[in-house]
Amino acid sequence: MANRSGVPYSTIRKFENSGNISLRQFLMLFEAVGDIGQIRSNAAKSTAPHDGLHGVFADSLPDGWGLYLMDRVFKKHGYPPHLITALERLTYIGEQCEIPPRLSDALIQSHSQH
């Protein structure tokens, strides 16, 4: 277990006897024997409305199908989707999508035509 996890054998023995271990070393052990992605996924989920984003930003994120498609792209490029934050998703959208003209540009055009 020490070789698989990278946690020293003495630390594992101490953990077995006392139940005391650092969080980092516990996660290293858990990753060696379990699914660390499940813990990361649960920890990353926010209970705040819109994942803690203001509504205007949350509304800019895709719905379930769009998130699924984004996750496929992230996986294809080696990024675990459950570790991608909402801000990173917004950045990705901004880099990949055509952004409509700004409202101020439309207002300027409208006033210059009168």
Boundaries of every domain in the chain: 1-34, 45-114
Q: pTM (2 decimals)?
A: 0.44
Q: How far is the C-alpha of 101 from the C-alpha of 114, rounded, in Å? A: 20
CA–CA gap between residue 97 and residue 90 (Å, rounded): 10
**pLDDT of amino acid 60:** 81
Residue-level pLDDT at 76: 93
Residue of higher predicted confidence among 100 and 18: 18
The string of pLDDT tens digits covering residues 27-55 is 887 788 776 665 566 555 555 655 667 77
